[in-house]
């Protein structure tokens, strides 16, 4: 059953792949901040801030690469 997923993978439309950034950033932020915070009470706030930093950085990188691709000869 599980091997069939690798033989016949699901097709995901391009515009839907952007939604995969949210769980990726959330997973990285939670694991990283779990190691770094002093008390677990700070974890939700710190992880949320880090998620927004990562998404903002990825957006800025995407805009910069788009501008280079679009306007550089």
Say what the pLDDT of residue 1 is: 62
Q: What are the structural domain ranges in the chain?
A: 20-71
pTM of the prediction? 0.79
Give me the average pLDDT of each 10-residue run along the chain (73 residues): 76 89 96 96 97 97 96 88
Task: Give the Cα separation of 54 and 57 in Å (integer).
Answer: 5
Task: Tell me how crowded residue 25 is: count the other CB atoms within 10 A of its CB.
Answer: 19
Locate the DSSP E strands across the chain. Answer: none
Task: Give the Cα separation of 51 and 24 in Å (integer).
Answer: 9
């Amino acid at each position: 059953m599980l091997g069939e997923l690798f033989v016949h993978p699901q097709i995901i439309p391009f515009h839907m792949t952007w939604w995969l950034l949210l769980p990726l950033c959330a997973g990285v932020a939670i694991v990283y901040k779990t190691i770094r915070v002093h008390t677990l009470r700070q974890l939700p706030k710190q992880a949320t801030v880090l998620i927004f930093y990562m998404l903002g950085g990825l957006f800025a990188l995407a805009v910069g690469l788009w501008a280079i691709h679009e306007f550089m000869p």
